[in-house]
Structure 1
Amino acid sequence: MRISAIETVAVSPAVRPELAVAGARGAHDRSDFLLVRVRTTGGVSGVGEVSATLLWSGEDAVTARHAIARALAPALLGQPLVPVAALERRMDRALAGSPFTKAGVATALWDAYARSLGVPLAVALGGPLRERVPVKCSLSGSGARLREVHAAALAAGFRAFKLKVGFDAGTDAVRLAHARELVGPDAFLGLDANGGYGRAEARRFLDLALEHRPAFLEQPVAPADLAGMRELRGLGVPIVADESVFGRDDLVSVIRAEAADVVSLYIGKSGGPGRLVEMAHLADAFGLEVVLGSNGELGLGAAAQIHAACASPGLSARIPSDIIGAHYYAHDVLEHPLALDGRMAGLDAFGAEPGLGVAPAAGVAAGFTPATSS
């Protein structure tokens, strides 16, 4: 079975304004994503999602479409579908960086592979190790805006949250106090600074934050400041590495520096679901917990997150993952939207369907066009 065609379609759904997230790195209120479909000579196809934003990796639907047409499609067309890992290596040789773009294509390849076997993607990835994954929702803003976002998250079913911080220690501490009041004294509430603090400011913020019992502090300092991350460990709050960890080499650096208690892995940052699960195995071998992070994935991306989370060892039992694709948009790209309740995301959302277990809506699927190198 060989790769016979690679097709793409751009989608730009607007984020529900009441849930739009604004953090220290900027706001995410629009998703200019690219969907990918891989066809094979055996009649099996697979789909994936390039959940990329210029803010995060310098990629979006425009850059992804160009890279797939000029580099990835020529490298993959005519190649055997199995093993998928060999196709991932071909993509690395054909295109530098661009992990989110490669992840969208890799997800489509893994989906096609799992469908060819007639098994769910979680099984093709070596699982499942669990059937369901707890999830949380990001809160941002202050005052009335924070109340609005929290109310919308509650209405969507969420009961676990993380607050975007990383601006100013004193102001963030006031916002944290407000958030704790909103969610209640016993609710799960973590913090995400998106690398916005310097070391001294991060320590000052932690001193102010501890009385509000945050469950974790994610990426308190700049991604490259692994020494600063290590200094903040052991101060009463688990430290989560997010922007510090894209690929395997980054994870190795974090492990060697003892810079985190938990790592946040993305389908996009890792370069696809297979590589995410590989990284989860490595993190688990060195005693690091894993959570699934989010770049605001749509339904296809959220489905991939669920399968990868259920196949990943070391998934944190104390910190919920960020699988929010079924809630973040008023209109999704799936034929049948994922039935998620805001508290758990599980394989039961897919029934007994093979692969990702989901398909693009007819109107979206009709927009796929062949990727070319012209």
Structure 2
Amino acid sequence: MKATVAAVHTLPVSLDVRPELVVRGARGSHARSDFLLVRVVTSDDVVGYGEVSATPIWSGEDGHSAEHFVRDVLSPALVGQPLAPVGRLDDLMDRSLAGNPFTKAGLSTALWDAYARTLGEPLAVALGGAYRTRVPIKLSLSGDGAALDAVLDAARAVGFGAFKVKVGLGVAGDLARFARAREVAGPDAFLGADANGGWTRREAAQAVPVLARLGSRFIEQPVGPADVDGLRDLRGAGLPVVADEAVFDMADLVRLVRAEAADCVSLYVGKSGGPGRAVAMGQLAAAFGVETVIGSNGEFGVGAAAQLHVACALAALSTEFPSDIIGAHYYTEDVLARPLDSDGATVRLGAEPGLGVVPRDDLVARFR
């Protein structure tokens, strides 16, 4: 008899970002995360974990809305259903709830985790990999003057050597911030720039050539999410264009590819609606010569593990741009019983089945 989904449990968790690493960008400041951990139990007593990593200003979702939808809408649709194929359960969630990709991604991750544990394989293998076991990573830098220096010092102290500078807050200040980051980080440090859609086309056209001269390696989402033509026009301005806010789902990616609007796409497990869909989007991007990196919504450890497995399952993950798998370093505490294997420069995949991680015992005891 095939395993079925027997139960779904949830646990709201709030964590503070390490004060010295708080990100301040065009979409606001991110100093605390109110997320939701999800647990799936199968009829064979296999347990899988996921994480809803959502913030209202970014996705219109948060831990409170996620808990309601998981408990009252999605769980009734899934309990009793066969665990495999997990893609069918992803489709079933879409028929039960419109939108809310981050919420669905948390539950989808738990389903995929349980499925991979049933197989006795790492999730990256269940998703079609693993193509690598080590992923280079970077951290966001924000703030001005001495505050920026302090962020860089703190990031280096935990091993980070690659960064992206938050811009999109006003061109003059953005260029001064990036110039200071370049001065302090040194001429050879990997530095990109992330505008989070905060510039107009005119502002982006002013800023991007200067950033190129300052040694930026890329510009991420220079204009608003809907301005695909603006993204395309900036591809000739001197820097590779990374699309982030412009690409949530497969339809967004298809529109971007057709417009030839980006050199690279930042994929999230949350934006995509789950690990399987994130990998499918990466495969489509690769087929059209568009690189992919794994972006971040400030995931906790469970979400960071999902990021890692998706990164390792992508055949064409960018080798030029590091990904944003920062959960092992970003918060004042970790939700995992054993942290991810990360030294700040890279994060490494283990051989354990599923996500290869579980929450701390005190958190496991609180699921309901």
Aligned partner letter, 2:365: A
Is the CA contact (8 Å cut-off) linking 2:209 and 2:238 kept in structure 1? no
Q: Taking structure 1 as the reference length, what is the TM-score of the superposition?
A: 0.97
Task: Flag structure 1 segments of 5+ consecutive residues without an equivalent.
Answer: 370-374
Q: Matched residues in 1 for 2:316 and 2:236: separation?
A: 20
Q: Matched residues in 2 for 1:6 and 1:37: separation?
A: 6
2:357 corresponding residue in structure 1:
358
Is the CA contact (8 Å cut-off) linking 1:288 and 1:314 kept in structure 2? no
User: Runs in 1 of length 4+ with deviation above 4 angstroms?
Assistant: none
Q: Matched residues in 1 for 2:127 and 2:210: separation?
A: 42
Which of 198, 201, 220 is matched with 1:199 structurally? 201
Whether 1:345 aligns to 2:347 is: yes
Q: Is the partner of 2:61 in helix, strand or coil? A: coil
2:51 corresponding residue in structure 1:
49
Q: Taking structure 2 as the reference length, what is the TM-score of the superposition?
A: 0.98
Structure 1 position 15, deviation (Å): 0.5
1:272 corresponding residue in structure 2:
274
1:220 corresponding residue in structure 2:
222
Listed one character per residue, the Cα deviations across residues 148-201 of structure 1 (whole Å, up to 9, x for unaligned) are 111110001000000000011111111111000111001100000000000010
Aligned partner letter, 1:80: P
2:80 corresponding residue in structure 1:
78
- How do 1:278-357 and structure 2 match up within 5 A? 278-347=280-349, 350=350, 352-357=351-356
Which of 112, 115, 118 is matched with 1:113 structurally? 115
Is the CA contact (8 Å cut-off) linking 1:49 and 1:107 kept in structure 2? yes
Q: Matched residues in 2 for 1:96 and 1:330: separation?
A: 34
Q: Is the partner of 1:320 in helix, strand or coil? A: coil
- How do 1:85-104 and structure 2 match up within 5 A? 85-104=87-106
Listed one character per residue, the Cα deviations across residues 217-249 of structure 1 (whole Å, up to 9, x for unaligned) are 000000000000011002210000000000100
Q: Is the partner of 1:31 in helix, strand or coil? A: strand
Which of 111, 134, 137 is matched with 2:136 structurally? 134
Is the CA contact (8 Å cut-off) linking 1:196 and 1:220 kept in structure 2? yes
Aligned partner letter, 2:197: G
Which of 240, 243, 249 is matched with 1:241 structurally? 243
Q: What is the root-mean-square deviation of aligned Cα atoms in Å? A: 0.7
Aligned length: 366
Q: Is the partner of 1:36 in helix, strand or coil? A: strand
Q: Is the partner of 1:309 in helix, strand or coil? A: helix
Aligned partner letter, 1:136: K
1:372 corresponding residue in structure 2:
none
Q: 1:47 to 1:118 in 2, by over 3 A?
A: same
State the percentage of identical aligned residues. 61
Structure 1 position 131, deviation (Å): 1.4
